């Protein structure tokens, strides 16, 4: 809400989208069979845009995967893609490999609750719910306490997908489509979820057209450093779309 206000005051047209089963989206987490169900709200929005309209996509955390898929499917509708301490896959480095690397790097999940569906499926899906301690010490540690309180009141579980081959297939991107869209990466140096080193390693393997650094931002720069979080300027595009999953970031 802070960043949206700042962008609108700067003259941008702003749309915010919750991915499926996130934020105030009506779907429940158990209704997501695959990752395509999760990012469907973004795909439907872009599909509905007039052919001549272009947007700047902004993805935070897991939203980076969502906007990467959008870059693959709608490269001509996207003026630029902004990754805010977000997963940034490429044709050479898959989202699945980045997700696995993130899981290996995370030193502790603290009070996060992880469950697996009771399903006859050989590769069952699951869900994950961040705990208050994890949110306070790793996600919102530099953000105002009222924003942490708001997050705790809106918290929803996030989906995990058991079929890794399907996840790989549905998040694959190519140079011919995804690779034609300009990328900006915003580094948050105090992020304890996607740590600083991990962010830099993604940029090294998948160079962005521009890199911005926010020195004192945690994983939630839109709260800890809202005025610095989205320094977006565009001469040809007035519509900014934030791909977010509200408080259920992975």
**Which residues have a catalytic role annotated?**
61, 191, 219
Angle, alpha carbons 147-245-66 (nearest 5°)? 140
- Residue 68 φ then ψ, to 5°: -65, -45
C-alpha–C-alpha distance, residues 63 and 248, integer Å: 11
- Beta-carbon contacts of residue 126 (< 8 Å; ≥ 6 apart): 114, 115, 116, 117, 159, 160, 162
Q: Confirm if 68 and 178 have CB atoms less than 8 A apart.
A: yes
CA torsion 163-83-192-225 (nearest 10°) is -150
- Beta-carbon contacts of residue 172 (< 8 Å; ≥ 6 apart): 72, 94
């Amino acid at each position: 809400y802070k960043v949206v206000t700042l962008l609108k005051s700067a003259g941008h047209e702003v749309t915010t989208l919750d991915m499926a089963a996130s934020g105030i989206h009506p779907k429940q987490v158990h209704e997501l069979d695959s990752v395509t169900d999760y990012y469907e709200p973004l795909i439907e929005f872009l599909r509905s845009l007039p052919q001549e309209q272009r947007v700047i996509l902004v993805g935070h955390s897991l939203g980076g995967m969502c906007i990467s898929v959008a870059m693959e499917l709608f490269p001509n509708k996207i003026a630029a893609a902004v990754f805010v301490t977000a997963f940034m896959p490429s044709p050479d480095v898959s989202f699945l490999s980045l997700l696995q690397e993130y899981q290996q790097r995370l030193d502790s999940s603290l009070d996060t609750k992880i469950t697996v569906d009771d399903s006859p499926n050989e590769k069952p899906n699951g869900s994950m719910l961040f705990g208050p301690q994890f949110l306070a010490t790793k996600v919102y540690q530099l953000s105002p306490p009222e924003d942490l309180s708001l997050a705790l009141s809106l918290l929803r579980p996030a989906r995990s997908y058991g079929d890794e081959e399907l996840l790989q297939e549905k998040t694959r991107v190519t140079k011919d489509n995804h690779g034609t869209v300009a990328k900006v990466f915003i580094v948050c140096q105090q992020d304890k979820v996607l740590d600083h080193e991990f962010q830099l390693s993604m940029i090294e393997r998948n160079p962005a057209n521009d890199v911005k650094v926010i020195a004192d931002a945690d994983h939630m720069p839109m709260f800890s450093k809202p005025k610095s979080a989205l320094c977006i300027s565009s001469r040809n595009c007035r519509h900014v779309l934030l791909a977010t999953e509200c408080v259920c970031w992975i």
